[in-house]
Each structure stands twice: as C-alpha cells, then as structure tokens.
Amino acid sequence: MPHTYEFPRPALTVDCVVFGFDGAGLQVLLIKRGIEPFLGTWALPGGFVRMEENLEEAARRELEEETSLRDVFLEQLYTFGDPGRDPRGRVVSVAWFALVHPEQHPAKGDTDASEAAWFHISDLPDLAFDHDHILTTALERLRGKIRYQPVGFELLPKRFTLTQLQALYEAILGRPIDKRNFRKKLLAFDFLIPLDEFTGGAHRPARLHRFDRRKYDTLVKKGFLFEL
C-alpha cells in the first residue's frame, strides 16, 4: 500500500554550470529559456528531476536535451534551496558543473531552450532565477579544485602547449602566474607527457604535450598529491 506524506513536498530540479576554455578566456554555456517563467532570459541548462531517475541521470539528460552535450566530466556542486528562488513555488535545485572544450561541443538549443550560446565569464547577461549565485559558487569551486586536482585538462584539446595550459590557469584564477615556477612544477609531474610534435610557425615553435590520465590515476593510488 503506497504511503501518503502529510507534509508538502518541494519540487526537485538540477542545474548545470558548463565551463569551457577557448584559448583566450573562461566561458560558460547558457540557454535562452523558451518557456515561462523568465521567458527569453538566459539561464543555466537544467530542469525537473523525474521520479524514476537519480540526480546525475537527470543532470545528464537535461544537458543532452537542452544543449546536445553528452559524455562530459560532471561533478555535483551544491544544493540551492532558498524558499523564494523560483516563482513557480518551493523548488530545490541540485547544481552540477561540467568541464568541456567548446570546439568539441558547439552550442545548440533544444526542447524548452530556444537558443544556446557560449559566454565569457567577464561578459555575462542577466540570468534567470538565482543562477548568478549558482555560477559564482561553481567558479569558486573550480578555482579551488584546479589547485589539487588536474581537472583543467578537461578544458584543453588532447594535445596542448604549456603556454595554453598556463593561459587556462590564469583565466580560471583571474590573475597572472609566474611562468618559470609554473612550468617547473608542471614538468616535474610524470603524467604530463612531452610529444615529438610542435605547433606551426617559423619562429620558436612550441612543443605539444598530453595528459596521461592512467599514469595520474596510478600515482594517486600510491599516495601522490597534485598541488600547484
């Protein structure tokens, strides 16, 4: 016999902060809402959790439905439950953040998203609901996380230069980094593999590198701590 709760139950949603890096600055993927509330306003991808799915399944489904993104790095961020955060009623949102390379994931709106587009963090439109707060929280998490986990490599192409890697860290941290110290620390890591390939250009071509995930995972099992 099904049980009936005597207390009202809030609705549950998921919202996804999708970060990207275009080589010049940190970006976030937004959708333009095609339905009320906030019709025509930019927002984070997301939606209501279905009764038969868990939270991560809901987040991945909403990402694919609204932006066509799939098989991306995804991590739970925080739960947002201010009683007045949604004009439709009592809605609690579990937020997630994803890290992707924008060139591999062009923006594409679908379902209740009339449009999707990449925006630089420094030039954002007004956002629906409390999504500006969610985005700020995700950015703070990312800035802390790249210091002790190599998640930044998710934002780069498979082959990259040390200059590109430094530009990524500077974009996320919002400040310049000493080039010599940064490279010295990175090159000491056994999972950053130099390749016999170089970028084009007649003057001082830069060596390409790749991130060896398997080697990193092996080092972690042995007690290795990543820190920059």
Instruction: Compute the distance between CA of residue 96 and CA of residue 17 in angstroms, rounded to an integer.
Output: 6
Per-residue pLDDT of 67-118, as tens digits, reads 888 888 899 999 999 999 999 999 999 999 999 888 777 777 666 667 889 9
User: What is the pairing mode between strands 11-21 and 91-99?
Assistant: parallel
Q: What is the pTM of this model?
A: 0.88
- Among 179, 149, 144, smallest CA distance to 164 is for 179
The residues assigned a catalytic role are 115
Per-residue pLDDT of 136-174, as tens digits, reads 999 999 999 888 888 888 899 899 999 999 999 999 988
Instruction: Compute the distance between CA of residue 48 and CA of residue 51 in angstroms, rounded to an integer.
Output: 9
Contact 74, 96 (CB under 8 A): yes
Domains in the chain with CATH codes: 11-145 (3.90.79.10), 159-221 (1.10.10.10)
Helix or strand run (H / E) with residue 168? helix 162-173
Instruction: Compute the distance between CA of residue 60 and CA of residue 69 in angstroms, rounded to an integer.
Output: 8
- Among 106, 113, 103, smallest CA distance to 44 is for 113
